[in-house]
Amino acid sequence: MFNNDSRHYTAWPHAPIHKLSSSGTYFVTCSTYLKQHFFAGPIRTGVVYRGLLLFAKKYGWHLEAWAVFSNHYHFVAHSPANDNTAESLPRMLGHFHTETARWINKTDNAPGRCVWHNFRETELTYQGSYFARLNYTHNNAVKHGLVTDARLYPWCSAAWFESTATPAQVKTILEFKLDRVKIWDEFEPSQDW
């Protein structure tokens, strides 16, 4: 969208600008349309969880952390190793969202219903930002009040991380302060997980 002087770009408030011109590590947040709880319940949340892991692998994105809920999800991932950009991210998410929307709409007998909204991404360009977002993502179920220990929430990476990383890595990430991290996460996930 442009204002009267077409040399100045005006950002559309509900469609974030995607800056994917370089390969790297990204923090991504995706939301359902109007934050609706289309994926409430263990079966539905599990479909999104398994789909995210499957499509990330299919498109060459290396997941470091993830958290999936009834109306949104977050992940931290490295773009494909052989790509000079991260421009495959919208293709991956588009494919993933199309398949999960088809499934949930068939399940609910709601053909053509809008299921997913947009996504936001942040390229993580320094170590502190990377560590903070790993910690944030691993512990997002605690932030949302679903569990008191993130390892107990089956649709996130906390238990996997603690079982595969070294004790020093776990300590470094989990002790990383989040007080200055600004993440748009105005979601109220369903307590039915």
**88 found inside a domain:** yes
* pLDDT tens digits for range 23-75: 789 999 999 999 999 999 999 999 999 999 999 999 999 999 999 999 999 99
- pLDDT for the residue numbered 92: 95
pLDDT level of residue 177 (50, 70, 90 thresholds): confident
What is the average pLDDT across 135-139?
93
**181 found inside a domain:** no
Write out the residue range of the structural domain in which residue 148 sits: 25-174
Q: Who wins on pLDDT, 86 or 158? A: 158
**82 found inside a domain:** yes
Q: What is the CATH number of the domain that holds 76?
A: 3.30.70.1290
- pLDDT for the residue numbered 191: 78
**73 found inside a domain:** yes
- pLDDT for the residue numbered 9: 37
Rounded to an integer, what distance in angstroms lies between the CA atom of residue 27 and that of residue 183? 10
In SS3 terms, the chain reads as CECCCCCCECCCCCCCCCCCCCCCEEEEEEEEHHHCCCCCCHHHHHHHHHHHHHHHHHCCCEEEEEEECCCEEEEEEECCCCCCCCCHHHHHHHHHHHHHHHHHHHHCCCCCCCCEEEEEEEECCCHHHHHHHHHHHHCHHHHCCCCCCHHHCCCECHHHHHHHCCHHHHHHHHCCCCCCCCCCCCCCCCCCC
The total domain count for the chain is 1
pLDDT level of residue 184 (50, 70, 90 thresholds): low
Query: Which of 155, 125, 128 has its CA nearest to residue 140?
Result: 155
Rounded to an integer, what distance in angstroms lies between the CA atom of residue 35 and that of residue 37? 7
- Is residue 67 within 8 Å of 137, Cβ to Cβ? yes
- pLDDT for the residue numbered 18: 60
**85 found inside a domain:** yes
What is the average pLDDT across 116-142?
91
**19 found inside a domain:** no
**15 found inside a domain:** no
**13 found inside a domain:** no
Q: Who wins on pLDDT, 1 or 142? A: 142
What is the average pLDDT across 81-93?
89
- pLDDT for the residue numbered 192: 72
